[in-house]
Amino acid sequence: MDKDKNILIIDDEPGICTSLTLALEDRYNVKACTGAIEGLNTIKNEYFNVCLLDLRIKEYNGLDILKEIKTIDKNIIVIIMTAYGTIDTSVEAIKNGAYTYLTKPLIIRDLYLTIEQAIEYQKLNEKVEYLSKELENKYVYNGIIGRSASMKNVFKMIEKLKDVDTNVIIMGESGTGKELVARAIHYSGRRKKERFEEVNCAAIPESLLEEELFGHKKGTFTGALEDRQGKFEYANNGTIFLDEVGDMPLMLQAKLLRVLQEKEFSPLGSNEKKKLNIRVIAATNKDLKSMVENGEFRQDLYFRLNVVEINLPPLREKKQDLPLLFKHFIDKFNDEFGKEIKGLSKEAEKKLLDYDYPGNTRELSNIFESAFVLSNSNIIEAEDLPVEVRVYKQPLKNKDAIILEDLVGNNLKEIEKRVISATLSLNGGHRLKTAEMLGISERGLRYKINEYKISM
């Protein structure tokens, strides 16, 4: 008995609807419709585990109805009912999302078995989907994706910092997600209902940056026709994010230091002191310690900003996160482009895993966006990737690197041995790829490996 399971029958023959309802109602909650539109509207308004769908419903083609059903509820299990003469069409229906087909006249014993199998299949799919979402949620923190040890440390730091007002500086290469981390600290903490304002210190001309930060009074300069709030005042009680703070001019660094120390500021052209209750998060891709040593960044400001430092690793150092990011961008661009790309071919995935991403996650996003534009199927192929990804070769590790000066003076056999060994290492021990790269047969390579006693 599965009276908590709901079955819908859609068949234009009232006699079949009646006989199937009588056969199933002791085991399931059953509803029957003799019209296609009536059936679709019923699915829109009620939940069903299984739909028994006839392939011919008066003037309607069952394949078209199947597509509509799956659009309304992708998880409903559809079992096609068909006459012997339409089995080819039934196979086509399975390709379009039907679970299976049964030929008329139906054998009730087979129908029971098929429905039970379908419900078990549905349960399994729901469990897999649930676990997939759980796994995804486990590795997503406030929009930041990662399961590598380095990213787990970042998540822990955000948790520790979100509800305190300690100044934080986020260090990392361009494209590593510094703004995402700053937003996560703000929106997961006690200031989340207040404003978060970003100022890119590298993108605003030096002559305008002070006004952007602190605002001005009417009449301060030509064109100042009214008072203007700066970002500090606008974000008061919230968070201000000073991105690329290493590009801030020295003169303005001095004023920023005073503001941080005194927790008050004056707009340009005003002597009025305005109190601040604001959290400051800064970020840079520059080496501020070296800049301090070279007199390019104030040491006192550096220590004021850098109470706690968060270091974001580049993508090439956390490749464990790549599969999660691949899935994220496939889902993202499927929504944006209205496509149904399922994933990556093995060759495309390998090239993406091998690539080093000098532009980090921002570059990875651009790569997927480009691939979505170029792809003509539901799988991203290697040829859909940018040329720099397709032709990229991983650099040799230091122990495998061959310097010309090291080869001079060695006999040819020693040179050949070292080149073969380094090429094997470059290709992860893959003999066919190594042979192709060296321009010899695989058999010839095998002979050389044995001759030179090259360990794999």
Domains 316-390 and 404-452 share a fold: no
CATH topology of domain 6-135: Rossmann fold (3.40.50)
Distance CA 443, CA 449 (A): 10
> 3-state SS string over 79-96?
EEEECHHHHHHHHHHHHC
- Model confidence at 246: pLDDT above 60: yes
Sign for the CA dihedral angle at 296, 216, 185, 145 comes to negative
Is 292 in a helix, a strand, or coil? helix
- Model confidence at 429: pLDDT above 60: yes
Distance CA 449, CA 426 (A): 15
Q: How confident is the model at residue 169 (pLDDT cuts 50, 70, 90)?
A: very high
CA angle 205, 209, 215 (to 5 degrees): 140
Is 256 in a helix, a strand, or coil? helix
Distance CA 138, CA 337 (A): 27
- Model confidence at 135: pLDDT above 60: no
Inter-residue contact 56 to 16 (CB < 8 Å): no
DSSP H helices, 163-249, are 178-187, 206-214, 231-234
What are the extents of the domains in the chain? 6-135, 149-312, 316-390, 404-452
Q: Verify cis geometry, omega within 30 degrees of 0, for the bond prior to 205.
A: no
Q: How confident is the model at residue 399 (pLDDT cuts 50, 70, 90)?
A: low
Q: How confident is the model at residue 147 (pLDDT cuts 50, 70, 90)?
A: confident
Write out the two tokens for 11.
């068949």
Helix (H) or strand (E) holding 6: strand 6-10
pLDDT score recorded for residue 400:
52
Pairing of strands 144-145, 274-275: unpaired
Pairing of strands 239-243, 274-275: unpaired
CA angle 194, 199, 201 (to 5 degrees): 155
Higher pLDDT, 135 or 255: 255
CATH number of 404-452: 1.10.10
Inter-residue contact 79 to 118 (CB < 8 Å): yes
CATH number of 149-312: 3.40.50.300
- Model confidence at 428: pLDDT above 80: no
Q: How far apart are the first and last CA of the chain?
A: 61
Contacts of 16 (CB under 8 A, 6+ apart): 9, 54, 81, 104
Residue 290 CB: number of other CB atoms within 10 A? 10
Residue positions counted in the chain:
456
Residue 362 CB: number of other CB atoms within 10 A? 15
Inter-residue contact 21 to 32 (CB < 8 Å): yes
Inter-residue contact 386 to 355 (CB < 8 Å): no
- 199 strand-pairing partners: 242
pLDDT score recorded for residue 398:
53
Using one digit for the tens of pLDDT, what is the confidence trace for 321-375? 999 999 999 999 999 999 989 899 999 999 999 999 999 999 999 999 999 999 9
Higher pLDDT, 17 or 131: 17
Average pLDDT for the chain: 87
DSSP of 305-344, one letter per residue?
HTTEEEEPPPGGG-GGGHHHHHHHHHHHHHHHHT----EE
pLDDT score recorded for residue 130:
56
- The residue type found at 240 is I
Domain 316-390 has CATH 3.40.50.720: no
- Give which of 178, 121, 120, 187 is closest to 154, Cα–Cα: 178
DSSP state for residue 410 in the 8-state scheme: S
